[in-house]
Structure 1
Amino acid sequence: MKDIVLYDRNCHFCKASKRLFEKLDWMNVVDWQALQSVNRPDFSQEELMEEIHLITPKGEVKKGFFAIRRMLLRFPLTGLIGLILHLPFLKPAGRFGYKVVADNRTCTFRKK
C-alpha cells in the first residue's frame, strides 16, 4: 500500500522537492496529492500549509521531519539515511532543521 503525501502545489520549493522524491521512489510507494485539492476535515488548511503531511496505509499521520524521514526510509537509495535519522539524538536536530527550511521555503528556492 502507498503512503499519501500532501504537498503545496503553489510552492516552488515544495514542487521541486516532490520532483526529487519522485525520482527516488523507484518502488512507487508514495501517492502525491496537492493539499489545495484535498478535503480533509481532520486537518485545517493552516496546518497543512505549515508542514508536509504523510498518511500511512494504516492511517497514521507523520508531519514535517517525520514525514521526510519515513519517505527516505522507504526509498531504496536513501533507506540508510532514513534509518540513521531514527537515531534518538538526531530527532531534535531533524525537527529544528525541517522547521528552518519550512519557515523559509519561499525564500530558499526561486523558479528560474
Structure 2
Amino acid sequence: MKDIVLYDQNCRFCKATKRVFERLDWMHVIDWRPLQEADDMGFSQEALMHEIHLITPDGSAKKGFFAIRRMLLRFPLTGLIGLIMYLPFLKPAGRFGYSVVADNRTCDIRKKK
C-alpha cells in the first residue's frame, strides 16, 4: 500500500524535494499529491502550508520530520538512515532541523509573523 504525501506544487523548494524523493522511491511506495488539491483530506490549508503531510495506508498522519523519517525508512537506499532517525535522542534534533528548513523556505505564501 502507498503512503500519500501532500506537497506545495507552487514552491520550487518543495518540487525539488519531491523530485529527489521520487528518484529514491524505487518501489513506488509514495503517491504525491499537491496540497492545493487536498480539500478532502481533513487538514487546513494553513497546516498544509506549514509542513509536509504524509498519510499512511491506515489513515494516520505524519507531519514534518516524522513524514520525512517515514519516507526515508521506506526507500531501499535510505532505509538505514530512516531507521537511525527513529532513535529517541534524534527526535528533538530532527524536529528542530525540519522546522529551521520549513520556516526559512522563501517560496511559500504563508502569512509572515
TM-score (norm 2): 0.92
What CA distance in whole angstroms lies between the structure 2 residues aligned with 1:84 and 1:41?
A: 30
Q: Is the 8 A contact 1:53 1:64 kept in 2?
A: yes
Structure 1, unpaired ranges of 5+ = 108-112
Q: Is the 8 A contact 1:29 1:74 kept in 2?
A: yes
| Structure 1 residues 8-28: Cα deviation after superposition (integer angstroms, max 9, x where no partner) | 001110000000000000000
In the other structure, the counterpart of 1:76 is 76
Structure 1 residues 1-112: aligned runs within 5 Å: 1-40=1-40, 42-106=42-106
What root-mean-square deviation, in Å, do the aligned CA atoms of Structure 1 and Structure 2 show? 1.0
What CA distance in whole angstroms lies between the structure 1 residues aligned with 2:26 and 2:72?
A: 12
Q: Which structure has more helix as a fraction of its residues?
A: 1
What CA distance in whole angstroms lies between the structure 1 residues aligned with 2:41 and 2:54?
A: 15
Structure 2, unpaired ranges of 5+ = 108-113
- Identity of matched residues, %: 79
Q: How many residues align?
A: 107
What CA distance in whole angstroms lies between the structure 2 residues aligned with 1:41 and 1:84?
A: 30
Counterpart of 2:42, as a letter, is: D
Call closer, same or farther: CA 1:61–1:41 in 2, change over 3 Å: closer
| Structure 1 residues 34-72: Cα deviation after superposition (integer angstroms, max 9, x where no partner) | 000121352110000000000000001000000000000
Q: Which moved more, 1:63-72 or 1:35-44?
A: 35-44
